Chains A and B, each alone.
Chain A
Amino acid sequence: MNLDSLYEEIILDHYRHPHHKGLRDPFDAEVHHVNPTCGDEVTLRVRVGGSNGQGVIEDVSYDTLGCAISQASVSVMADLVMGKPLDEATKAYDEFLSLMQSKGQLEPDEGVLEDAVAFAGVSKFPARIKCALLGWMAWKDATARALAARETPRTNEETA
């Protein structure tokens, strides 16, 4: 298997110099996800802003322990979703998930995925798909929790 089709230069760049890394305040939800087969971990925080029914991903911050693919993926994901309206960010998530499940058969939409198209090769390495998805899954979970917390009166904050 050709290594360069997995470790694209963009991926190695993000791995060596991750964007938005480090946990930040303020945030609406924090989650901790692990990959039980390898012990990779991510702690991820999301801050959702916006109003009138349209949320905006104001901030994503994270701390990770993991391989080049998982670290680069969360860095690229943070770049991609930060500042985006919720529906656009969710669309990117859906597109990335489809790409990972495509076994290398899908031509990714660069307009939606931007730098994340570099992960197209990962879908041909079944053992690494979970690595690429770790940060995205954490983001989706954190965002869902942040939205649920917004809909709950502030007095119930401790359950968020």
Chain B
Amino acid sequence: MTFSSPLDVERIRKDFPVLERVLPDGSPLVYLDSANTSQKPRQVIEAIADYYGQHNANVARAMHMLGQESTELFEGARDKIAAFIGAPSREEVVFTKNSSEALNLVANVLAWADQPHGLRPGDEVVITEMEHHSNIVPWQMVTQRTGATLRWLTVDDEGRLDLSQLDSIINERTKVVSLVHVSNALGTLNPVELVAERAHQVGALVVVDASQSVPQLPVDVSRLGADFVAFTGHKMCGPTGIGVLWGRYDLLASLPPFLGGGEMIEVVEMTGSTYAAPPHRFEAGTPPIAQAVGLGAAVDYLSAVGMDVVAAHEHAITAYALERLAEVDGVRVVGPSTAQQRGGAISLVVEGVHPHDVSQVLDSRGVAVRAGHHCARPVCQRFGVAATTRASFYLYTAPQEVDALIDGLHEVRRFFGVAS
């Protein structure tokens, strides 16, 4: 079995302090849960510590020296993120708490919007069967509230979107199409451009959940065909508590606010208020300042490595893992079985052993994976499983860690007596 990556993984690993952790018996920690949350390089940890240690002040409201520094750092992070995703304008980058909040923001402001975008009875919203709960539940909530109808594209046995019904599911009644770029549960990389083209033919807006793709792939929002893109900082070497909603400026400018409060206003009178222009219209209250600074540092870190290199490594490690998993009897991959058009999250089922028990045995050997429905229960049901075990990778994942997973899976089968 060969493994070839353009990345010097050993050098990268030195940047991540947590990867030096060892088990009580001295064996190394094998972190294969990066689709859940990524580890943080010291460059990000230091940027956050430096912000709190040297520059902490509220943004945009404080006229003093520290206030000016914190505002520059916070707005500077917006510039970095805009450049990172190819946003035509920095004003199109809205800071949120996470992807879930970004998706809830879009769903709610579209529900409240005037025509042509507002959701009304008879309108349809289209999602897919492989969405994370954060791209299902907000749309269920707003369609129930507005009287619109929720529809979805289904998934085939290989974990790909069934596009044969694209033209009937997305039709002249469709107002919004919201889909995941890379599935967190299956790993599937979806043809967003193709779906977006059909959506735009019928005048629908396109929302993309890019939580798993922006960390792994070079994503250019101006070429994706989306009108809104949501992603989260903590899956891309940044801190928790910061997410991003990118939206086309003309659209953002035409939409009502989400939350009310400080910073999102223009003029407030007791009888009513007018609202700030985007992005601040959608950023009520003191924002996650240190977290934005940390995400800015994460984007600097990933850019210095190069997102094409990160993507090539992800592809190589995924291909290696899929090949090695095929060697283990009684292990079935749920999702695409090859690394083509695929991200680095691999869901698997060990026949006869529940995912909780799989992950417990792996954990006893220092191998950290996720077990459960991965906040994507409908797609688990689609494949007839209540839960799966998921291994996921990132730029610091070494092939030896995949080997540790494979050894661990053999031990799982031995321990529970399902090995032949």
Q: Do the two chains bind? A: yes
With A39-B372, A39-B377, A40-B386 as known contacts, state yes or no: A1 contacts B364, CB within 8 Å. yes
Q: B132 → chain A, closest Cβ, in Å? A: 15
- Residue pair B354, A37 in contact (C-beta under 8 Å): no
A interface list, Cβ under 8 A from B: 1-3, 6-7, 12, 16, 37-41, 65-69, 125, 128, 131
Q: B379 → chain A, closest Cβ, in Å? A: 12
Tell me if A's interface is mostly helix, strand, loop or mixed: mixed
- Residue pair A39, B364 in contact (C-beta under 8 Å): no
Q: B145 → chain A, closest Cβ, in Å? A: 23
In the assembled complex, the Cα of A39 lies from the Cα of B364 at a distance in Å of 22
The 4 closest A-B pairs by CB, nearest first: A67-B356, A67-B354, A39-B386, A38-B372
In the assembled complex, the Cα of A37 lies from the Cα of B360 at a distance in Å of 15
Residues of chain A contacted by B336 (CB below 8 angstroms): none
B interface list, Cβ under 8 A from A: 354-357, 360-361, 363-364, 371-373, 377, 380, 386-387, 415-417
Q: How many A-B residue pairs have CB under 8 A?
A: 49
Contacting residue for A39 out of B357, B380, B416, CB 8 A: B380
- Residue pair A131, B356 in contact (C-beta under 8 Å): yes
- Residue pair B371, A38 in contact (C-beta under 8 Å): yes
Residues of chain B contacted by A65 (CB below 8 angstroms): 386
Best-buried of B360, B363, B372 by chain A (most CB within 10 Å): B360
Q: A43 → chain B, closest Cβ, in Å? A: 13
With A6-B360, A39-B372 as known contacts, state yes or no: A68 contacts B417, CB within 8 Å. no
In the assembled complex, the Cα of A1 lies from the Cα of B373 at a distance in Å of 24
In the assembled complex, the Cα of A65 lies from the Cα of B354 at a distance in Å of 9
In the assembled complex, the Cα of A67 lies from the Cα of B361 at a distance in Å of 12
In the assembled complex, the Cα of A67 lies from the Cα of B350 at a distance in Å of 12
Q: B248 → chain A, closest Cβ, in Å? A: 36
Contacting residue for A38 out of B361, B364, B387, B416, CB 8 A: B387
Question: Which B residue sits closest to A37, measured CB to CB?
Answer: B372
With A65-B386, A67-B354, A68-B416 as known contacts, state yes or no: A39 contacts B373, CB within 8 Å. yes
Contacting residue for B357 out of A1, A16, A37, A67, CB 8 A: A67
- Residue pair A38, B356 in contact (C-beta under 8 Å): yes
Residues of chain B contacted by A3 (CB below 8 angstroms): 360-361, 364, 415
